[in-house]
Chains A and B, each alone.
Chain A
């Protein structure tokens, strides 16, 4: 009977202990390793005050600012492709045989697309270079704007721009020696939210120029200023 009582009292304690959060071990990455290219299947969710969309697709990135994003329809066909280089963006809608070409600042105010102008800033998330670094620092970003960056064991877990844009990085794993966050949550100063989940990312594999160049053959090319939204 005392044994039964002991078990009875200990069991909840054991269960509680088992449920306690165990801190993840620090990532074993190569110090100084940087992400030059990334290609990954992605799951996307865009939520703005006036509209929202979600889907799956493919993301290709090459440092410092080349991005190619493919968004798929539920049946797997290509719904939209976005190509970004510097401050230029091309949106291709194969179903409309139309490409919209222009600058990021010409994207419509509504529809959550303004968040995409931050993609270069989001992708710029190198480690601090010190594996023990924890806490938040204020610094100038690569474009010369002020930002607050939070590190945990040397990897970036959050950033905030001086304009109030925020991005959180989580579910890190090490790919090819480089720490890669599998979940990115972006919230811009307008309150638009973009969530990107990466699946089986490939890091620093060579990517040909062609993958960042939109093929506009047979498409009607119009200025981005006439684009009405997603």
Chain B
């Protein structure tokens, strides 16, 4: 009888120990996964991290989800598609149905076609807004903050988040870029002064896949 009682007591003690161990492990797991090593970094450090990461990329492709939240509406428009980029001046974006459209940016020339349109619309941006110019600016290390913008940056578990705020009264209130140290952009959020918000989420990013000119046709 005594031995049975002793056995029950030990059994309860073991169960309590097991329970405590599980609880401890669970807490440890939760604490480990939720620990955020967030630290604010200087604006120049953030910009330079993006620039440096991008120097190792010659091209990339990614699937995208684009979300547009209109301030006047409760609804969010969601579009899916893909993008491709090749240094120094080629960018292609394709949006899937029902918003089917294709856009090719070749330096400062935008060509755009919707649905089955065979003749694309063509828009020429001022040469100083061309892609080549932007990449020329990114050729040398960033040592000071560019004029006309305020930048906030932080580094959390190897993920950089940088918010760029133009100081003027233009359309864009701020742009947030979430990226990794190797230059992989994960998310782009553009807040407009009218309260609208445009978000682009990049998924399945494939870097340096050897894209050629042929991959950039409407």
Q: How far is the CB of A175 from chain B (nearest CB, A)?
A: 14
B9 at the interface (CB under 8 A from A): no
Contact across chains for A58 and B77 when beta carbons are under 8 A apart = yes
Chain B interface, DSSP helix/strand/loop, else mixed: strand
Q: Are B68 and A43 in contact (CB under 8 A)?
A: no
Given A53-B112, A54-B113, A74-B103: A43 touches B98 (CB 8 Å cut-off): yes
Contact with B along A203-217 (1 / 0, CB 8 A): 000001011000100
Interface residues of B in 155-194 (CB under 8 A from A): 169-172, 188, 190, 192-194
What residues on B are CB-neighbors of A39 within 8 Å?
A: 73, 75
Q: What's the nearest-Cβ distance from chain A to residue B78, in Å?
A: 9
Tell me the total A-B contact number using a CB cutoff of 8 A.
98
Q: How far is the CB of A76 from chain B (nearest CB, A)?
A: 3
Q: Which residues of A contact B (CB under 8 A)?
A: 39, 41, 43-45, 47, 51-56, 58, 60, 70, 72, 74-78, 94-95, 97, 195, 197, 199, 202, 208, 210-211, 215, 218
Quick one: closest A residue to B81, CB to CB?
A74
Residues 47-74 (chain B) with a chain A CB within 8 angstroms: 66-68, 70, 72-73
Across-interface contacts of A70 in B (CB, < 8 A): 70
Minimum Cβ distance to chain A for residue B147 (Å):
19
Docked complex Cα distance between A94 and B168 (Å):
13
Looking at the assembled complex, report how far the CB atom of A117 sits from the nearest CB atom of chain B, in whole angstroms.
21
Interface size class of B (residues with CB under 8 A): 35 or more
CB distance from A92 to the nearest CB of B (A): 9
A218 closest partner in B (C-beta)? B169
User: Given A43-B101, A43-B114, A54-B121, A77 and B171 touching (CB < 8 A)?
Assistant: yes
Kindly provide the distance from the CB of B143 to the nearest chain A CB, expressed in whole angstroms: 28
Q: Which residues of A contact B169 (CB under 8 A)?
A: 97, 218
Q: List 7 A-B contacts (CB under 8 A).
A: A39-B73, A52-B120, A56-B99, A58-B70, A74-B110, A94-B193, A215-B194
Query: Quick one: closest A residue to B196, CB to CB?
Result: A78
Contact call A45/B114, Cβ cutoff below 8 A:
yes
Which chain A residues border B194 with CB–CB below 8 Å? 78, 94, 215
State how many angstroms separate the Cβ of A27 from the closest Cβ of chain B.
20
B215 at the binding interface (Cβ < 8 Å) = no
Other CB < 8 Å A-B pairs besides A41-B77, A43-B101, 4 of them? Answer: A45-B114, A77-B172, A95-B171, A197-B98
Give the residues in chain B near A211, CB-CB below 8 Å: 72-73
What is the bound-complex CA distance between A76 and B68, given in angstroms? 6
Is B73 a contact of A97 with CB atoms below 8 Å? no
Please indicate which of the listed interface residues A54, A58, A72 has the most CB atoms of chain B within 10 Å of its own CB.
A54
List A contacts of B112 (CB < 8 A).
53-55, 74
The 7 closest A-B CB pairs, nearest first, are A76-B198, A54-B114, A94-B171, A52-B121, A45-B114, A199-B98, A56-B99
* A208 / chain B contacts, CB cutoff of 8 Å: 72
User: Measured between alpha carbons, how far is A159 from B72 in the docked complex, in Å?
Assistant: 32
A75 touches B100 (CB 8 A): no
- Complexed CA–CA distance, A95 and B101 (Å): 22
* Chain A residue at minimal CB-CB distance from B68: A76
Contact at A78–B119, with CB atoms within 8 Å? no
